[in-house]
Structure 1
Amino acid sequence: MKKLSMLIAGLTLASGVLAGAADQLSVQDPYVRLAPPNAPATGAFMVIRNGGDKDVKVLKADNPVSRVTELHTHLNEGGVMKMRPVAAIEVKAKGEAVLKPGGLHVMMIDLKTPMKEGDVVPITLTLDDGSTKQVDAKVVRPMAAPAPAPMPMMEHKH
């Protein structure tokens, strides 16, 4: 009986460790940008909120639709915007990390199959304590750029 109690206690402790920081995170508005036909990559975006009392780092992401998944950011290098991998995305205690176009994001590289609008991509975020959080991100069409404001008509006097 003592061995059974120790086994149950060990499993309870292990399950608590596996849940860990992931239980303190919530994710709002997750989406994957619909890639143009034959595009090799796309991005996933979301807001990650940390309701806990300790800072949390997202160390990696994974999904079933791309062969490579990386955490990325955009940097301005000499006036040129470039994407670069980052080692982690920090989510401060009681704070949030905003993953958005032109900033931090999950880069999905070497897409295995084309996606279509409305598909749902499960993305697994792995945190610095080893716990994981699954996010279901809907595939959406990129928003079109706003049309330029109309130019005022020039007065012509003939």
Structure 2
Amino acid sequence: MGILIPGSAQTIVGVVTFAVVFLCMTKVLLPRINKVLDERKDAIEGQVERAEQLATEAGEVLAAYREELAEARHEAARLRQEASEQGAQLIAEIRAEGLREREAMIVEAQARLAADRVIAETELRGDIASLATELAGRVVGEPLEGVADSEIVDRFFSDLDARSSAGLH
């Protein structure tokens, strides 16, 4: 027999050894390997389920975040609008108050001007009467002191007032 062809004793020992190793593999190692594979499969499936659950929760959180963000934007827009309206109202109130103050100042100034005009007119009439009397006295050559208080001066100013009123209107 050649080196490549074993003898019958070697073949029987090889077949028995193969059978023992095969039985050990199928009875001891294969169940352990299958058990480890099943555990890994369960772990992977559990991780997939947890990942799906986490993805669902993340989606819910994202939707809640987007909803809160939309509400916050709406609230900010409402607050901006409200502030704008309040600002416009304040500007209108300040403008109205300024107009009231301006009108009050105008009325007060007009009253003051009218009073000053009356005072100035009264003073000027007195001065004009005394100057006219003095000038008439120089022209005539006699003092005309008593004439200044007379009805002639009053009548002159009345005529002057009537002419200025007729000319203005």
TM-score tier by shorter-chain length is under 0.3
Normalized per residue, which structure has more helix?
2
TM-score norm. by structure 2 comes to 0.24
Higher alpha-carbon Rg: 2
TM-score norm. by structure 1 comes to 0.25
Normalized per residue, which structure has more strand?
1
Higher relative contact order (CA 8 A, sep 6+): 1
